[in-house]
Amino acid sequence: MRHGDAHLPSNQIIADRPLAGVPGQDDDLAIFTAPRPSFDLRHILVAVRSHLWLIGGIIAGILTLALVYTLLQTARYTASSTIQINDSTARVLGRGQDAEDDSGPTNVYDTDRFLKTQIDILNSRGLALRVAQRLKLIGNKEFYAEQGAGQPSPKASPDDLHRQAVGMLMGNLSVKLPRDSRIATVSYKSANPVRSAQIANAYVAEFISSNLQRKFDSSSYARDFLSGQLADAKQRLEMSERAVNAYARSAGLIRTEPTTTDTSGSSTQTSVTTSSLAQLNAATNEATARRIQAEARWRSVSGSNALGSTDVITNPTVSTLLAQRASLQAALDEDRARHLEDYPSIRARVSQLAAIERQIQLGASNIRSGVRQDYQAALSAEQQLKAQVARLKGETLSEQDSNVQYNLLMREAETNRELYNGLLERYKQLNAASGVSLSNIYVIDKAEVPSSPSSPNLFKNLLLALILSLAIAVTVVFLKDQFDDSIRMPEDVEPKLGLPLLGVVPNSALDDPQADLADPKSAISEAFNSLRSSLLYSTPEGLPRTILVTSAQASEGKTTSSFAIAAGLARMGKNILLIDADLRRPALHRRNGSENSRGLSDLLTSHDPIGTAVVPTKTANLSMIHAGPVPPSPTELLSTDRIEQILDQATKQFDVVVIDSPPVLGLADAPLIAGLVGGVIFVVEADRARHGSLKTSLRRLRAMRPLILGAVLTKFDPTKAGNRYSEYYGYNYYQYDSDGRS
């Protein structure tokens, strides 16, 4: 049983108590699930400040590598030529000197694809081979040296030499076409500025030449082929149209206008009989719908219960009568409750109710008769229309037999007409472009010999290295911060530990916490006073009767904290007992200035009352039980029922019992005691390097399901986290200037 929980049933003390600061009671991993603000500038500044050497080393190392890489690079020169690429080409011969052909793109999307195609041609292997042959670069030793490649092997085959030259040209070529522009820039980079300009200009010249050559080769054969196809299509079209007219005259088929288009895309005509059938069929469908609706209404009102029909209920007269009947029935029920059946008012209302009932039945009967007449009229109209549709169907079916051959002939004529029109249009286009075409590519600026190298660019490389180093440094610091559970500032407690922050204790200004605690105006004293106030309201019942003070590792300030908490509560007038439960490294007896001759270990190994081990202190209302002689196995002593008996006696004689325990990590003492006390205070040293120790320690503590009151951040240096922390936590309140003003 936890001391301080005596008001709860013994079988609910553990089950009904949630883990403090953690959503849920059985999630061990909830230690690190508390949300952290998505953007915390102070946390970022603290993380950067604590990793300045690491960040500086990463930036300096990458900048040094970038500097060395830049200095070792060979100077290279880039020459650029600009050209304008148009969609269409002007013709020298044809219908006009300045006329344009129709071979260019017709919309924005086609234009975009056309320009991308031209860029791909500039980057093609075929154009690179033409440039290599034009400048005689295949097997040229100077060209190989300028590109930084090894000399060609004397045993290399011609195909290998071609591939090597083409590969070097393509590897150093750059073609750029800005968005929403027709001006392309052709650039080439090499160690020889003159060679760069020659190759850039050769690329432009060969691109224009190859474009004209492709147009000339493709137009001649196409015109001859289309001319023969056009003559054959014209003859077939004339024969098919004559056959359609002859068959329509012989079969007596009459077609109405205008023509319609079927699903196959061919135009068709509708006959008079088919049009009449379609109109009557539509009218029949409407009559059938009206008949079905009238029949449904009749079936609804023809049942035994006329009042169950929607038509009857929604009738205004019937609705009014029903309302009157309900009102009269309510009045009759009220009279019957107070009078006998032969009472005059009851007999009058019964008579009125019968009259209204007859009126309702009469109204329902009239509505039913009207609905029946509507149904019979709709049925008669439907039957007449169906008879006319049946007659026209027979006529249409006989006409369709004749339409089969007509439609076959018509489709053949339409196909021949489309084929003829397509061939004629294409033939006109080729004739328009049959003249000698000018190039649609114009040179805007020829490449000039560059006067300065384009690479390496020291400033650009250092700037990129700086950006890369900052990104790497940020990534490293972020990952290091995510995998490190050390607490650097108070705002880290709740997100990383999932515990409420009870108090923040700064570093000792005198390097002596005892001296600072003796000064009531010191920052440490003020911090522990604030912690004491938090403990008074740490649970719904107030201050727990038994409090365990522990930490993850040694030397985090738990002994000083337990002594300060006990002394602060004693100054409030409470009778406090401070127990040193660290049976391995006892320390409280030295703070009290007494011998550790008798203490908790003696009580655990005997049945003596606790008064035999209680030692008074210099602080009023504060007593101690020292650890006593170090036993061979402290864990076995604390595992017995004796420790619970000792705590029971202590809570009966003292108002509050504060226990200073050993650290959690690696020892079983603190978790064993945590399951017996009314609350646990977890002490965390600020800015201490950790590798999952807090997570492991809290998981071990929660295995005993204690009530963890919260965490206390000790040895916090606000100057490392920024001046705002020093002002916020009030650590400079008692510092006065030379004039004595605060």
* Cα–Cα distance, 539 to 10 (Å, whole number): 19
Give the dihedral sign, CA 214/215/218/220. Answer: negative
- Cα 338 to Cα 271, 335, 346: the distances in Å are 83, 5, 10
**pLDDT grade, residue 725 (50/70/90)?**
low
Among 135-144, 335-344, 455-464, name the one with the lowest average pLDDT: 335-344
**pLDDT grade, residue 268 (50/70/90)?**
low
Among 284-293, 398-407, 463-472, name the one with the lowest average pLDDT: 398-407
Q: Give the count of alpha carbons within 13 A of 364, CB side only.
A: 22
pLDDT of 545: 92
Mean pLDDT on 86-91: 62
**pLDDT grade, residue 657 (50/70/90)?**
very high
The CATH number assigned to the domain with range 498-728 reads 3.40.50.300
Cis ω for the linkage preceding 154 (within 30 of 0): no
Share of the chain above pLDDT 90, in %: 13
Mean pLDDT on 46-58: 82
Among 86-95, 460-469, 645-654, 682-691, name the one with the lowest average pLDDT: 86-95
Kindly report the three-state secondary structure assignment for every residue of 525-548: HHHHHHHHHHHHCCECCECCCEEE
Strand pairing class (501-506; 576-580): unpaired
pLDDT of 158: 84
Residue 281 reports pLDDT greater than 50: yes
pLDDT of 717: 80
Mean pLDDT on 362-375: 71
pLDDT of 23: 36
CATH architecture of the domain with range 77-220+439-445: 2-Layer Sandwich (3.30)
Name which residue leads in pLDDT, 229 or 65: 65
pLDDT of 3: 56
Q: Give the CA angle between residues 423, 428, 430 to the nearest 5°.
A: 95
Mean pLDDT on 447-466: 85
* Cα–Cα distance, 574 to 521 (Å, whole number): 22
Among 95-104, 568-577, 654-663, name the one with the lowest average pLDDT: 95-104
Q: What's at 416, amino acid-wise?
A: N
| Range 132-150 burial, b when 16+ CB lie within 10 A, else e | beebebbbbeebbebbeee
Q: What is the pLDDT of residues 564-616, one digit of tens each?
A: 999 999 999 999 999 999 888 888 888 877 888 888 989 988 888 998 999 99
The residue among 515, 551, 549, 556 whose CA lies nearest residue 531 is: 549
Mean pLDDT on 420-442: 72
Name which residue leads in pLDDT, 535 or 307: 535
pLDDT of 625: 92
Q: Tokens at residue 348, please?
A: 């009058």
Among 7-21, 51-65, 105-119, 432-446, name the one with the lowest average pLDDT: 7-21
353 Cβ contact list (under 8 Å, min separation 6): 325, 328, 329, 332
The mean pLDDT value of the chain amounts to 77
Say if CB 551 and CB 545 are below 8 A apart. no
